[in-house]
Structure 1
Amino acid sequence: MNTAAETQSSAERPIDRWFANYSGDHRNAGNQLIHIICVPAILWSVVALLWCIPSPGTWFRAGFWAGLAMLATALFYYRASRMLGLGMIVVYVLMGLLTRWLHDTYGTSTLLWLAIGVFVVAWIGQFIGHSKLFEGKRPSFFTDLTYLLIGPAWVLSKLYRKLGIRY
């Protein structure tokens, strides 16, 4: 016997409504490609910037604030979709390992400047994608800041669809 949740179509899930609205602002193939590159770059740069914030006390290591933010957003994604949440955890683990390696190898100052550079360049790319050259529409987060969280999951959902994974 099917439960109400099982009979509910996937289009009725909040994450699918978020993706439908987000996709409406990202129809141009060039803009989508820019987002597939720039959204993960921005996400990593935010992780790296948070990594550079000094940790409180002696109990915590570098990366404490980044870990806290990754945990909080992973819970957001997991609540929206278990598969997206698990996928974002994998993404965060990989980003965390990369960031830790960069931090341990080159130091906080280099990581900070690298993160700032990636952040700026990737946002320039995003705004070019939304310019009249490509999409010609304002970025979704101008309507609702939640779209800053939806973008990474939207990129991951595109990968899932390509691999035939249901989310």
Structure 2
Amino acid sequence: MRSLKQFLDTYAESHQNPVNQWIHVFCVPAIFFATLGLLWLVPIGRFIPGVSAELAPYINLATVFALFVGMPYYLRLSFGSLVVGAVWSLLSFAGIVAIQSHGLSLLWISATVWIVAWAIQFYGHHVEGAKPSFADDVQFLMIGPLFVMQKINRLVTTGSIHPTTH
């Protein structure tokens, strides 16, 4: 498996345009949230013997994917990647539970956000003039959040999402 640096360097190759980078800063978190929101709607807990009625709604395709696919994948890359994946997942789950607790439609909200954010991302890649990285390797769908965190970290520390040149 490639290293985190190799993944991020390859991902960055098709994300050079500032417009595309800003689009990703907003749309990658939206897609991450919306994907987990859609997966949340696939219940698993009620089919597992011995799972209480209180716990069953929280055992779904989203939580199972996060725990058994996402977190191990990020941990293989680095502990910091695991922390990023865990925080993004927990924030997404909190938003999902909040939506449901307010009686709003998680299906419609997640589906709308997912479609709109992907459409904007594809526009960003049109502006970039490069296809999305995941077209060559689906693993890049998991690298997007790490790329965005790199951009956010750079923004916080330098005031810009773009690397400084010396």
Question: Secondary structure of 1:106's partner?
Answer: coil
The aligned counterpart of 2:135 is 142
Q: Does 1:64 align with 2:60?
A: yes
Aligned pairs for 1:1-150 (under 5 A) are 14-55=3-44, 56-57=46-47, 59=51, 60-71=56-67, 72-106=69-103, 110-131=105-126, 134-150=127-143
Distance, in Å, in 2 between the alignment partners of 1:87 and 1:65 is 20
Number of residues of Structure 1 aligned to a counterpart in Structure 2: 148
- RMSD (Å), alpha carbons: 1.7
How far 1:91 sits from its partner (Å)? 1.6
Between the aligned residues of both structures, percent identity stands at: 32
CA deviation profile, 1:19-72 (whole Å, cap 9, x unmatched)? 001000000000000011111100000100011112342622245221111122
Aligned partners of 2:36 and 2:62 also within 8 Å: yes
Q: Is the 8 A contact 2:37 2:107 kept in 1?
A: yes
Question: Which TM-score applies when normalising by structure 1?
Answer: 0.82
List alignment gaps of at least 5 residues for structure 2.
158-166
- Cα distance in 1 between the residues matched to 2:61 and 2:99: 16
Equivalent pair of 1:70/1:92 in contact (CA under 8 Å): yes
Quick one: which amino acid aligns to residue 57 of structure 2? R
Per-residue CA distance 1:140-166 (angstroms, 9 max, x = gap): 1111111111111111122234445xx
Amino acid at match of 2:129: G
Deviates more, 1:22-31 or 1:88-97: 88-97
Between the aligned partners of 2:152 and 2:121, the Cα distance in structure 1 is 19
1:9 matched to which residue of 2?
A: none
Q: Which amino acid aligns with 2:60?
A: F
| Contact 2:34 2:110 (C-alpha < 8 Å) held by counterparts | yes
CA distance in 1, matches of 2:59, 2:35: 12
Task: Quote the Cα distance in structure 2 between the aligned partners of 1:144 and 1:50.
Answer: 21
Name the CA distance, whole Å, in 2 between partners of 1:75 and 1:116.
27
